[in-house]
């Protein structure tokens, strides 16, 4: 017979899905706080297209040496998570590295309220590449672990968020302050957080999720106690991007679905997923794969191309806003400078400069649709997106408004439709080989049986909206030239 606590936790997990329409799979988008300042604060709680996501992961908060957690950018963190700061509050409040006081804010335009009004969850991610150096010391000390878990609970109470995401890059990685004991201490840290969240669930009356982001290299996976960690996490977020970049002597794909013709063994999404499932027994339905809403540019020694010699430096002249690592909207804005190519082995697009010795690896609607199909075929939980701002295209006629989100739209429609299959892009492009492909080609399968937690049906209103979007996208021919006022 189920214990009262276990039954309560099961109800907390399923009730929200019965009352709110959700995407057909888990779609979690990272929202880095520093991106709020980009393009005149184009992407903000009032402009986000919430219907594209099930969860927004706010990134990042910083682990402190003593186990406490600190805001990374107090002004942005308090404003975005709690709402506009009241005008009579001292200026020093926005600089103090505390979690803030909800009573000093107008929450009507906060990320949390806006998201919750749309049935979307918000969690806070702690760590990140530049703020992971304290994790090893925290995880190794029981008192620091307890303080860290208490800080997680404090954030949930103050901000009203729905859980915590841990982005430790990476356990056992000596270069970033790690040690061999991290493998076991990471488990202790997650267990302490999970126990603390379990106790808090009875107070707040809802399920509180715990997720973590993981590196996909075999050496990184070997530093995790997967059998134990899997039981503690709601989802395992695989960072299936940054496979290749500036550190390699030849050009290759940033986030290939399958192994390209040349490259390192295991450096692709499919290999990472199956290594995790087959080597460590992680169930498919706990895994989210990573989608890159950005690309990587590389200067080449000769004519640009795939698998050619690289100068191991990005093209910061063509993509100055992103220091040569362009967001998708900037790739679209400069499409006339490149020729489009598709790698049928890797199931990934790439660009070759017209008169530029520049190679660009990135994701487009077609590759996103292929990965959506892969999620369905492999019965994965869903996807994480880095990051939510990457495909937000600003309206030409209404500056300050997000006109479209082509990659997120492609993902949503591909995951949720039943009868549309991937179009033959080569045929569509037959007479225009140098253009980027027609936008929004989708792929799904009829035999899609989502997990119980994702079986909530779309409302009639949402179905009509999705149907209109599908019809609109089906009528679109060549990709329009995207306008961006943020240069």
- Domains observed in the chain: 4-293+364-475 (3.20.20.80)
> The whole model's pTM is what?
0.82
Cα dihedral 139, 140, 142, 146, rounded to 10, equals -20
Q: What is the pLDDT of residue 462?
A: 52
pLDDT per residue rounded down to tens, the chain (487 residues): 445 455 445 444 444 443 344 578 999 999 999 999 999 999 999 999 999 999 999 999 999 999 999 999 999 999 999 999 999 999 999 999 999 999 999 999 999 999 999 999 999 999 999 999 999 999 999 999 999 999 999 999 999 999 999 999 999 999 888 999 999 999 999 999 999 999 999 999 999 999 999 999 999 999 999 999 999 999 999 999 999 988 899 999 999 999 999 988 889 999 999 999 999 999 999 999 999 999 999 999 999 999 999 999 999 999 998 898 999 999 999 999 999 999 999 999 999 999 899 999 999 999 999 999 999 999 999 999 999 999 999 999 999 999 999 999 999 999 986 434 344 334 443 444 433 433 333 333 222 222 222 223 445 665 565 556 445 444 433 332 222 222 2
Provide the pLDDT for residue 283.
97
Phi, psi of 102 (to 5 degrees): -55, -25
Give the containing element (helix H, strand E) for 117: helix 111-117
CA-nearest of 25, 59, 20 to 389 is 59
Least Cα distance to 364 among 441, 268, 270 occurs for: 441
pLDDT value at residue 247: 86
- Of the candidates 36, 46, 130, 132, the residue with the CA atom closest to the CA atom of residue 75: 36
At residue 22, the pLDDT reads 56
Of 283, 265, 263, 264, the C-alpha closest to 273 is 283
Backbone φ and ψ for 461, nearest 5 degrees, come out as: -65, -45
């Amino acid at each position: 017979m189920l214990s009262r606590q276990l039954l309560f936790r099961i109800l907390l997990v399923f009730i929200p899905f019965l009352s709110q329409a959700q995407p057909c799979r888990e779609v979690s988008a990272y929202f880095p706080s520093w991106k709020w300042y980009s393009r005149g604060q184009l992407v903000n709680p009032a402009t986000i297209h919430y219907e594209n996501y099930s969860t927004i992961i706010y990134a990042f908060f910083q682990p402190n040496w003593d186990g406490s957690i600190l805001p990374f950018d107090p002004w942005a963190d308090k404003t975005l998570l709690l709402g506009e700061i009241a005008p009579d509050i001292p200026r020093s409040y926005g600089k103090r590295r505390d979690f803030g006081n909800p009573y000093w804010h107008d929450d009507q335009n906060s990320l949390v309220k806006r998201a919750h009004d749309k049935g979307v969850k918000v969690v806070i991610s702690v760590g990140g590449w530049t703020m992971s150096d304290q994790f090893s010391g925290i995880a190794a000390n029981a008192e620091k672990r307890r303080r860290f878990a208490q800080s997680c609970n404090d954030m949930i109470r103050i901000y009203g968020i729905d859980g915590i995401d841990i982005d430790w890059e990476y356990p056992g990685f000596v270069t970033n302050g790690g040690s061999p004991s991290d493998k076991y201490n990471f488990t202790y840290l997650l267990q302490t957080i999970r126990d603390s969240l379990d106790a808090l669930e009875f107070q707040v009356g809802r399920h509180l999720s715990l997720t973590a982001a993981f590196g996909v290299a075999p050496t990184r996976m070997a530093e995790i106690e997967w059998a134990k960690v899997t039981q503690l996490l709601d989802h395992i977020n695989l960072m299936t991007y940054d496979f290749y970049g500036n550190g390699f002597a030849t050009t290759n794909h940033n986030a290939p679905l399958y192994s390209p013709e040349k490259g390192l063994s295991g450096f692709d999404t499919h290999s990472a997923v199956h290594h995790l499932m087959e080597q460590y027994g992680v169930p498919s339905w706990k895994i989210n794969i990573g989608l890159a809403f950005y690309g990587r540019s590389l200067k080449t020694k000769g004519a640009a191309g795939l698998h050619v010699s690289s100068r191991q430096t990005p093209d910061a002249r063509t993509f100055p806003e992103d220091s040569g690592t362009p967001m998708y909207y900037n790739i679209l804005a400069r499409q006339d400078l490149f020729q489009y190519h598709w790698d049928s082995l890797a199931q990934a697009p790439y660009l070759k400069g017209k008169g530029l010795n520049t190679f660009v690896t990135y994701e487009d609607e077609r590759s996103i649709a292929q990965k959506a199909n892969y999620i369905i075929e492999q019965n994965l939980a869903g996807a994480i997106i880095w990051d939510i701002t990457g495909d937000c295209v600003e309206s030409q006629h209404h500056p300050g408004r997000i006109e479209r989100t082509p990659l997120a739209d492609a993902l949503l429609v591909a995951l949720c439709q039943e009868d549309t299959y991937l179009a033959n892009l080569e045929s569509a492009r037959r007479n225009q080989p140098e253009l980027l492909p027609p936008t929004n080609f989708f792929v799904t399968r009829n035999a899609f049986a989502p997990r119980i937690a994702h079986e909530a049906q779309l409302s009639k209103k949402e179905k009509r909206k999705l149907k209109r979007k599908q019809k609109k996208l089906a009528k679109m021919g060549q990709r329009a030239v995207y306008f961006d006022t943020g240069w």
